[in-house]
Amino acid sequence: MKQTQLLVIGAGPYALSAAALARERGIETMVLGEPMGFWRQHMPDRMFLRSGPDWHLDAAGVHTFLAYLEDRGIQPGAVDPIPIGTFLDYADWFVRQKRLEVRQQRVVTVASREDRFEATLGNGERIRADVVLAAPGIRQYANVPGWAPALPPGCTAHTCDLVDFADMAGARVLIIGGRQSAYEWAALIREHQAGRIDIVHRHDVPRFERVSWKFVDPHVEQTLRVRGYWRNLPRSEREAISRRFWEVGRLTLEHWLTPRLAGEVIRLRPGTEVAEASPAGDGPVRVLLSDGTRLEADRVVLATGYRADLTKIPYLAGLLGQVRTSGGFPVLDEAFQTSLPGLYITGFSATQDFGPFFGFVKGSAAAASIIVTDLLARN
């Protein structure tokens, strides 16, 4: 049985950022997961990021995305918007620069034993650790409308499970949702010669213009300076910040989508939602919208976002009786630690206690700093 001080489960931005800083600060660290696995397997190759070049993984501020571009002789303006492949190359470069060893092993279970943790891997190996940092990917949190499971699985998919559009030629596609993923998937599907695309969402058609995420920076900086910053804000302030986040990130979409959505193939249906949906044997899906419109679709794409539900993380099942939750989220202290001492959870799962910024790459370096500072204080 192997032993370590810190076991990091996951290898996305939050896991890599925390593991790198922990290792640099002298904490024996083991990382289990596939580096940037969700990004590689559940995001399309031709996807672009909404962030700017100032978002990065390094809490030490050395191996940043801008440093990677400089190392490669790339001007920041040459990657605007940033292709997902470029950021994945940066993440690989970051892992090499930090000399991180990431073991691509699946964690089956984690148990708490005598004030320590024991993880069992898919190959039967067991690892004991003083501390566990879980950084679950959001795929398990995919939000699916109640009517969707009754449809044939071959014609219905959440955006996180639809990254290959080769079979979309001539198809009638219904996209549910009105945020960035809905419209970007519509653009990608249109570029694969779909016959018709209907985009259905409850709110108005979003604006398409260049936006700045700079308003996020002071809140992330305050989280670093003031313990419990987000949770201690008056409710009215949290709601105002969340509205701003919604307006910039949800009601305003990227300007570079506009030319890719032009033409008669895409039909926008704002102010509506699905009232009924039913399979039609081996034929198309029949859909009734809330405004009375009836549609037939060969494919239904669920751009319906994500909703935290810690019970959907299989390896945590044995610990959930000891972990307080609220609305599907873990209840965390000011350092991302759960009610089970020694178990920390970061990333999207932490957004209820730390704010919406911590569901994006922007928050990864700050989360790493807070967690590692707390770990060092334990010694």
Distance CA 194, CA 165 (A): 9
CA of 238: how far to CAs of 84, 245, 257, 279, in Å?
31, 10, 30, 42
211 vs 178: which has the higher pLDDT: 178
Q: Which candidate, 258, 248, 255, places its Cα nearest to that of 209?
A: 255
Tell me whether strands 116-121 and 329-330 are parallel, antiparallel or unpaired.
Answer: unpaired
Mean of pLDDT values over 162-186: 96
Q: Report pLDDT for 2.
A: 72
Kindly state the tokens that stand for 84.
């997902």
CB atoms within 10 A of CB 147: 15
Distance (Å, rounded) from C-alpha 210 to C-alpha 123?
48
Residue 13, H or E segment: helix 13-24
| CATH number of this structure's domain 148-209+254-302, picked from the four choices 3.50.50.60, 3.40.50.9100, 1.10.8.50, 3.40.430.10 | 3.50.50.60
pTM: 0.96
For the domain made up of 2-141+306-378, give the CATH fold: FAD/NAD(P)-binding domain (3.50.50)
pLDDT tens figures, 270-292 = 999 999 999 876 678 999 999 99
Joined tokens for residue 112:
């708490």
Q: Where in the chain is the domain with CATH 3.50.50.60?
A: 2-141+306-378, 148-209+254-302
d(C-alpha 3, C-alpha 21), whole Å: 19
Residues 6+ apart with CB under 8 A from 299: 155, 156, 157, 168, 171, 172, 173, 174
Q: Residue 282: its pLDDT value, please?
A: 67
Q: What is the pLDDT of residues 1-59, one digit of tens each?
A: 777 799 999 999 999 999 999 999 999 999 999 999 999 999 999 999 999 899 999 99
- What's the rounded mean pLDDT across residues 235-247? 93
Q: What is the pLDDT of residue 379?
A: 66
| 8 A C-beta contact, residue 104 and residue 33 | yes
Contact (Cβ atoms closer than 8 angstroms) between residue 313 and residue 102: no
Of 286, 344, 334, 331, nearest to 136 by C-alpha is 344
Per-residue buried b or exposed e for 302-313, using 16+ beta carbons within 10 Å of the residue's own CB: bbbbbebebeeb
